[in-house]
Structure 1
Amino acid sequence: MNKRRVVVTGLGIISPVGSGIDKFWNALKEGKSGVGPITQFDAAQFTCKIAAEVKDYNPLDHFSTKEARNLARFVQFASVASKEALINANLKVSDTDAERVGVLVGSGIGSIETAEVEYQKYIDKGPRRISPHFIPKIIINEAAGQVSIDTGALGPATCITTACSTATNAIGDAFRCIQYGDCDVMIAGGTESATSILGVGGFCSLKALTTRNDSPETASRPFDLNRDGFIMG
């Protein structure tokens, strides 16, 4: 079987150093860091108090109030970035065979922050106050499913979870889908929103995160002799 040539035709991104291709690329060229003090919760009691948070993102710029409430943050990121990638590729799924357009979007954890919110509801007000949207919001394949809905892709829609290599793994598997003729187009990548109490707390307990809280921009140094952990993002 002849393997087909595969090319990247469009990009989309939501990131701590800038969202959108131009902002992201310019920030990289200027050497900007997206790491700073955690603002999404009070991290005073944590050994690691810094993270690479996405700060220039307002869900209401992209979704209705109802959608923003019912879609987990990691799913929103995937949806927005995928739409940008299609625009960048000058591709409308409706102009092609939608059944030959697939989606492979992964996440390492999914919406751990949603689990925190719903558990607090249970503690405060009992099980009847747990949202019916809880389960759909936390499962990892929700991102791929939402991207399929938003873009109109009718091909395979699946996900992958391989910790920190998830996005790279997803792109590699999508590459093979095209290479071996399963699809003509794949929308692929990774999405995450794990900077939460349990996310950061769990990695702190593993002693996996840096404690260089006074030097956020230089705290992540994986190849340094004096490295002491990574940073959540």
Structure 2
Amino acid sequence: MTAVAVTGLGLITAAGIGAQATWAGVCSGRSAARRDPQLAGLPVDFSCTVPGFEPAVHVGTRSRLIHDRFVQLALAAAREAVADAGLDPATWDGARVGVVVGCGLGGVSTWERQQRVMMETGPGAVSALLIPMLVPNMAAGNVAIDLKATGPNFVTATACASGATALGAARDLLLAGRCDVVLAGGSEAGVSPLIVTGFAQMGALSRRRDDPGAASRPFDADRDGFVIGEGSAILVLERESDARARGARVRARFAGYGASADAHHLTAPDPQATGVIRATREALREAELAPEDIDHVNAHGTSTPLNDEIEASALGTLFGAGPAVTSTKGVLGHTLGAAGAIEAALSVLTLEHGTVPPTANLDCQDPKIELDVVHGRPRHGHLRAAVSNSFGFGGQNAVLVFTAA
């Protein structure tokens, strides 16, 4: 099968602006969670938001007026990724460049803000840009406008698997010959009072208000829910032969993709993890790898009691105790539709650096979780292949396999 290469990365997360800052943050093992003024007075009043992100500085002076934050984050990540890949939108054939971005929610902050405007001031005060600011497809649409990419353009919405699904769809575009370059990833800015309250009402969020930095604790015996976050990751994907021909640096190979549906429950994972196991086996089959070839798993690892236990059971069935497992949500929180793309980018960096970041706040591993979960400090070694897992409400499963370049 034709190899797909990752040639560029862009990352905007709670650990910092840019891939280098994010990598340093996740390797530190220190949580980015902190009290959030916009959530003051709510039962859960902390989050993982991007520090120091200024739309006027990082995107452009008009951005505050025409873009929701989820689009702003995507634009910043996409620009970094394209520059990292050594590509120039002024000279590429835009018709051969696709954009696929995962997003689970869209412009929720714009929606909430404009609803308040209508209720307090009247319909005449509502922004004429309300709709183009909030609809999820504008993450991909605005990236295309900004970078003159006129090929296939769409958003995937598979809840918290959206970013990984986007990468899988982008890979299919390259293998089908429909594009020569695809900018693929995810973006989400869902930290708003209504969304946080909705998750809190479900019992999905940690209530550790006295110590937000210790709240996200994947695989820990004392975990009690996730910390909501925001961010974006965009990866530049090309056929490896094309990338080599233009002298590009290949950061890793995107070797396999598997997807499935649990068809089990609105929000709870299938206790038997049948869909997860099937998606992983499909990704391995496509990558032409056996379970023993996998050295690392970037787990979905949300820090919720049920998800972590069932994912661990699936990983044990698939891989035994072999691969070094981590969940970077301990540092970054759960970025919802962007999570799969952020974790894919971190999987690429893990292979590239031969370093597995630690799982933050793992003080006492749940005895039911019989995995080799990296914690305390990064682990260094030769890494050949990595799996990145993403799962979402509705039973959405997306599994990615990357191999070292």
TM-score band, normalised by shorter chain = over 0.9
User: What root-mean-square deviation, in Å, do the aligned CA atoms of Structure 1 and Structure 2 show?
Assistant: 1.3
1:38 touches 1:51 (CA, 8 Å); kept in 2? yes
- 1:32 partner letter: R
User: 1:35 — aligned with what?
Assistant: 33
User: 2:47 — aligned with what?
Assistant: 51
Question: What are the within-5 Å matches in structure 2 for residues 147-158 of structure 1?
Answer: 147-158=143-154
1:4 touches 1:181 (CA, 8 Å); kept in 2? no
1:4 touches 1:179 (CA, 8 Å); kept in 2? yes
Q: Which moved more, 1:55-64 or 1:182-191?
A: 55-64
Cα distance in 2, alignment partners of residues 168 and 228 from structure 1: 25
Query: Against the structure 1 CA distance between its residues 25 and 222, is the aligned structure 2 distance closer, same or farther, given a 3 Å change threshold?
Result: closer
Cα distance in 1, alignment partners of residues 133 and 213 from structure 2: 32
2:124 corresponds to which of 128, 131, 148: 128
Structure with bigger strand share is: 2
Q: Which moved more, 1:96-105 or 1:135-144?
A: 96-105
Cα distance in 2, alignment partners of residues 221 and 32 from structure 1: 11
User: 2:218 — aligned with what?
Assistant: 222
Cα distance in 2, alignment partners of residues 93 and 157 from structure 1: 16
1:19 corresponds to which of 14, 17, 22: 17
Cα distance in 1, alignment partners of residues 27 and 223 from structure 2: 24
- 1:58 partner letter: E
**Cα shift at 1:51:** 0.7
1:104 partner SS: strand
**Cα shift at 1:196:** 0.7
- 1:47 partner letter: P
**Cα shift at 1:158:** 0.4
1:35 touches 1:216 (CA, 8 Å); kept in 2? yes
Please, which runs of 5 or more residues in structure 2 have no aligned partner?
A: 230-405
**Cα shift at 1:177:** 1.2
> What is the CA deviation profile of residues 175-216 of structure 1, one whole-angstrom value per residue up to 9, with x for unaligned ones?
111122121111011111111111101111111110011222
> What is the CA deviation profile of residues 142-194 of structure 1, one whole-angstrom value per residue up to 9, with x for unaligned ones?
01000001111110010011111111111111111112212111101111111
2:207 corresponds to which of 204, 211, 227: 211
**Cα shift at 1:60:** 1.0
1:66 corresponds to which of 42, 62, 69: 62
Q: Which moved more, 1:82-91 or 1:160-169?
A: 160-169
1:117 corresponds to which of 95, 113, 120: 113
Name which one, 1 or 2, has greater alpha-carbon Rg.
Answer: 2
**Cα shift at 1:28:** 1.9
Q: Which moved more, 1:130-139 or 1:216-225?
A: 216-225
> What is the CA deviation profile of residues 92-118 of structure 1, one whole-angstrom value per residue up to 9, with x for unaligned ones?
133332111100012111111111111
Please, which runs of 5 or more residues in structure 1 have no aligned partner?
A: none
Aligned length: 229
User: 2:134 — aligned with what?
Assistant: 138
**Cα shift at 1:64:** 3.9
1:80 corresponds to which of 71, 76, 79: 76
* TM-score under structure 1 length normalisation: 0.94
Residue identity over aligned pairs, in percent, reads 38
2:59 touches 2:76 (CA, 8 Å); kept in 1? no
1:82 touches 1:147 (CA, 8 Å); kept in 2? yes
> What is the CA deviation profile of residues 62-95 of structure 1, one whole-angstrom value per residue up to 9, with x for unaligned ones?
3443332211110010011101000000011333
Structure 1 residue 99 and structure 2 residue 130: aligned?
Answer: no
Q: Which moved more, 1:80-89 or 1:207-216?
A: 207-216
1:8 partner SS: strand
Cα distance in 2, alignment partners of residues 68 and 118 from structure 1: 14
2:5 corresponds to which of 1, 4, 7: 7
2:216 partner SS: coil
